[in-house]
Structure 1
């Protein structure tokens, strides 16, 4: 077919090839794009061929492919070695989402330079910094710099009595200590040698006594421009502060309408859109990493102020399965961007 371009979707291992490619193929309507999926171990560097999976005549087949015009990286990675080698062959910036396992501290430093009124105070973990942050804010979160899905996140709150409550996933403390020195002993035990950050805790507005966040999926479109695909909320289980452990997901607009008057909701949504788009633009410009999609997590405090909590480089797309929205754009936009890129 004339003007058909080839796009390769790179996944972490061979087991992920079919499920990943299947999701993109059933949600895309782009006839000018031929796709196959592969893992880094499928690349034959010597002969410049890739062993990939594709759908041919309604059957899944493994074949040998020349290097595609464009590669969409769906590996969860923090290193550029494989990407650099691929781009030496297919061309500079022809791989997108080059790195998608972000360092949370580097992300904070990048967006804080431009969006500081909406970014909580954040410092690298050390005993001195933890003591300082507890003294200033009373509530902090301790997070692995390369964590995901809320794993290894601890909530630390200093109560009026001076007690320090340490929680994991749920607000109910799993550890209570009576002094900063005891807190430092405990924190060193669960931090270990893994790089962590300390983030100011936000006392958030809740929905029926349940924590909720706002997740914005920001993707590049067929014209190569950043755009918002959707805005949803994850509502946690009762007593749980970690919205990765959520009871339900829904449209963010539906949550906000239950808590705020109509004009406030409109103003908040405008702020949410603007902050999310600017975050994506800033990250790409600051890091020099070629991106196509990020998800931006935000919360709203008790005064109605909006805070950027985290940015994820590999959005969790299964999150949208249960929502009454079209999933097509979620999957088709990266493909449309890939086609746009192949023509440049």
Structure 2
């Protein structure tokens, strides 16, 4: 994409609403000065904050909305009263109509997914959308999906996830053939539930373009970064994500307690402060904030509802990258290729 990227922003979503979304957008604009914003929200709350950031104001189109989706609303409830009126719906619709290239919201995940599916519709060859996230690893980052969009998966859905995750990896990591692994209870082909084993067979025998199937991976491979894309269904993926986030906080708390335990520990910290700062940076979940809704006819980014401006800026920057590198074109290309029947090898003519 050569023109500026325009981001539709649901300013009212999340635990903190505009007080995080607007400073986050301003921070992201410092990194990506060619970005543009279409912001939806309550003018009484949003506009005073926009006024505090002249550079953001200069590249923003604002639309007043009187309705905002609450974090504890059920998806059906949000659709009933928020369709066509809420800041969340209007932001999604801006991507549908072409006013924006991508949507960002920190709002209620279930409502955001329901509205996105209703407004944007699923891609023709994809039964169910997924949420993909960036996962810090020992060698950099991987993509993990699905982390909570749908519960359960058959083999075809897992293959769809592999294809969509690989398309995202091509954008994020600039790889021609990302490696893909299926999360399983062991690496042996005989292990796991039937859906996972069947998906493995399809990926192994399908010779799909633009991805390299690695095989099964286990839970510890997530942190190792064994593959570029880890595929699992939403129930398992969400548990893995929340476990990793909790473990990162636990390690940080352990280190903080150990450092303050004695005078010698505090002196040691002074000498190792650089190393501790690097570790803190690596474990900071705000740096990897942002889940990408894949499988829809448009790009929607879900920011963590409780994040701060730094985390929201990360989600907005991820949205920028997805639009800038034309994720939708790559998704359509790879999904279409994965649904084509495999070519039939020519059979030798019978000998006379």
TM-score (norm 2): 0.31
TM-score (norm 1): 0.31
- Structure number with higher strand proportion: 1
